[in-house]
């Protein structure tokens, strides 16, 4: 799953004005609450390493809103390994309120112009705002075309973020002073897809909002005068908030800070929930809880599901379970425990190999070889049950199996995937938007049995056998009703109308030269590949 990446992570913090000071604030005091943003971003770094940034608000500063962004990890951007330089940055961008962002590109270019937050300057303070966004709009193309239909409009970036910025600006245009909830209510009527966002304006007002489907997680905590929000609960826990004060923001709801008061209210009706199941399987930190379900317990349950399906002889003393580091470890350990066999670290991950998925040179195979080292001392002569959280494009898995045989000298390798086959693209913020790039989709031929399909997949990968979890295991493991999860990538059934439309385009384009080219280009999306008809 090192082949698959999420788009972004969010952070927000606000210390309400007044005499009371939160003990969670930095030593410098409430007026420096913005200094907490890099700490929060470090704990959501798993959601994006391409860029990081923050916008702070300080009513005593001439630049009421001030934005700092850079390419690289949080540590690199905020110079956290250099005390003097880090202090200089944090002092300059200090304030009682701030929002932050880390990014991985599912679309758009890898340059500073795409780093968030996006700030829009204006003479009127309520129209001067900065915001950051996590997700992907399925109706991006429609919104883009409507904006560009007017010759007076121009888009400088190929990104949903700029679309959202213009839609919010439209709501603030003219002489009206709409309430924050009205702004969100109106833009929500035009959005189809995944969007969590944080916004801060030059009046010192803040918005923290989650889309009506709840695709992406968004957590918040309030203790005394301090409000904080992040894409994952672990960031708030490590900041010092108690477990009892940390909550998931309900879909279609927003938190607003205005006139020194915090308000939580609904801005959009939720026709259904569509929490991305991949959050629990792979993306989220194992220490997080989202929508009342622990990530650790969900992954543990996935391993138990694998154990119940296992039929490879395991009582000979030569069979071991090996996880693909790191997100598969919970499932692998649980599987091994229930089978009564050892779980061993037969693959060691090089944690200092760099952000391989944003490097501009080298093949995926070369990067995978550099990232994982097989241990012969663990693998030699063993029958290995190799546990992976998912197989998307298969490049990493092929490299691992080959190296485990050649370098590790494993006797047998049986791949066990703690997820059903990925057969359809994602249009809600994960970087797989074409059918051609998906390993499993080309094996799913009508008329073939599951055993035949899995056997063909195993031969193609170079494994002795292969097994995936069934679709219905996902709801059981996450402990949420199936109709509250987005499972589009494993079922081909999408929770929004524009998602369904894009899937039809993807299936029409599947296998075409345009689709194959698009699948190799992270800057492209399904709907940007022209439909090829015979």
> Which residues are designated catalytic?
8
Say if CB 484 and CB 276 are below 8 A apart. no
Angle between helices 160-172 and 180-188 in degrees, nearest 10: 130
Q: What single DSSP character describes residue 118? A: E
> What gap in Å lies between CA 6 and CA 248, rounded to an integer?
19
Place of tokens 């991985």: 104
Helical H runs in 250-294? 278
∠ CA(195), CA(198), CA(527), 5° rounding?
25
> What gap in Å lies between CA 519 and CA 415, rounded to an integer?
25
The pairing of strands 485-486 and 246-248 is unpaired
> What gap in Å lies between CA 465 and CA 277, rounded to an integer?
25
- 303 is written with which tokens? 């391993």
Determine the 3-state secondary structure of 498 from DSSP. Answer: helix
- The dihedral over CA atoms of 122, 123, 124, 128, expressed in degrees to the nearest 10, equals 30
- H or E element in which residue 342 lies: none
- 457 is written with which tokens? 């997949």
Q: Which of these, 346, 462, 359, lies nearest to 407 by C-alpha position?
A: 346
Say if CB 408 and CB 372 are below 8 A apart. no
∠ CA(394), CA(329), CA(359), 5° rounding?
45
Residue 530: CB atoms within 10 Å = 13
Q: Which of these, 51, 88, 86, 95, lies nearest to 200 by C-alpha position?
A: 95
Q: φ and ψ at 484, to 5 degrees?
A: -105, 5
Q: Which of these, 94, 168, 162, 97, lies nearest to 129 by C-alpha position?
A: 168
């Amino acid at each position: 799953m090192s082949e698959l990446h999420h788009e972004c992570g969010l952070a927000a913090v606000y210390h309400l004005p007044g005499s009371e000071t939160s003990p969670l604030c930095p030593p410098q005091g409430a007026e420096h609450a913005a200094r907490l943003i890099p700490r929060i971003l470090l704990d959501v770094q798993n959601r994006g390493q391409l860029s990081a940034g923050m916008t702070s608000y300080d009513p005593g500063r001439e630049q009421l809103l001030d934005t700092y962004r850079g390419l690289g990890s949080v540590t690199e951007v905020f110079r956290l390994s250099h005390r003097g330089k880090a202090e200089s940055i944090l002092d300059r961008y200090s304030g009682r309120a701030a929002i932050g962002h880390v990014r991985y590109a599912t679309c758009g270019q890898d340059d500073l112009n795409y780093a968030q937050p996006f700030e829009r300057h204006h003479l009127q303070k309520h129209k001067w705002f900065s915001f950051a966004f996590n997700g992907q709009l399925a109706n991006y193309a429609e919104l883009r075309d409507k904006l560009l239909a007017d010759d007076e409009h121009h888009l400088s970036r190929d990104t949903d973020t700029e679309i959202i910025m213009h839609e919010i600006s439209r709501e603030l245009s003219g002489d009206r002073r709409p309430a924050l909830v009205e702004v969100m209510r109106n833009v929500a009527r035009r959005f189809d897809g995944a969007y969590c966002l944080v916004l801060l304006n030059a009046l010192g007002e803040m918005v923290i909002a989650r889309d009506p489907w709840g695709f992406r997680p968004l957590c918040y905590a309030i203790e005394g005068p301090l409000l904080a929000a992040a894409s994952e609960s672990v960031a708030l826990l490590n900041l010092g908030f108690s477990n009892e004060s940390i909550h998931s923001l309900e879909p279609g709801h927003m938190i607003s800070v205005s006139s020194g008061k915090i308000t939580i209210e609904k801005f959009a009706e939720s026709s259904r929930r569509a929490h991305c199941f991949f959050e629990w399987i792979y993306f989220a930190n194992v220490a997080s809880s989202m929508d009342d379900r622990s990530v650790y317990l969900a992954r543990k349950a996935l391993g138990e599901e694998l154990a119940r399906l296992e039929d490879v002889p395991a009582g000979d003393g030569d069979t071991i379970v090996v996880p693909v580091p790191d997100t598969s470890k919970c499932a692998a350990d649980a599987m091994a425990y229930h089978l009564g066999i050892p779980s061993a670290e037969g693959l060691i991950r090089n944690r200092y190999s760099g952000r391989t998925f944003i490097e501009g040179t080298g093949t995926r195979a070369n990067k995978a070889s550099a990232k994982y080292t097989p241990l012969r001392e663990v693998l030699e002569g063993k029958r290995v049950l190799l546990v992976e959280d998912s197989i998307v494009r298969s490049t990493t898995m092929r490299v691992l199996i080959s190296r485990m045989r050649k370098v590790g000298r494993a006797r047998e390798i049986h791949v066990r995937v703690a997820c059903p086959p990925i057969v359809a693209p994602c249009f809600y913020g994960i970087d797989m938007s074409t059918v051609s790039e998906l390993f499993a989709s080309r094996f799913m031929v009508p008329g073939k049995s599951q055993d035949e399909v899995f056997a063909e997949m195993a031969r193609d990968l170079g494994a002795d056998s292969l097994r995936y979890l069934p679709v219905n295991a996902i709801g059981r493991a996450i402990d949420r009703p199936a109709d509250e999860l987005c499972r589009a990538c494993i079922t081909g059934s999408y929770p929004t109308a524009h998602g369904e439309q894009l899937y039809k385009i993807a299936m029409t384009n599947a296998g075409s030269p345009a689709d194959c080219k698009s699948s190799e280009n992270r800057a492209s999306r399904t709907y940007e590949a022209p439909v090829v008809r015979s």
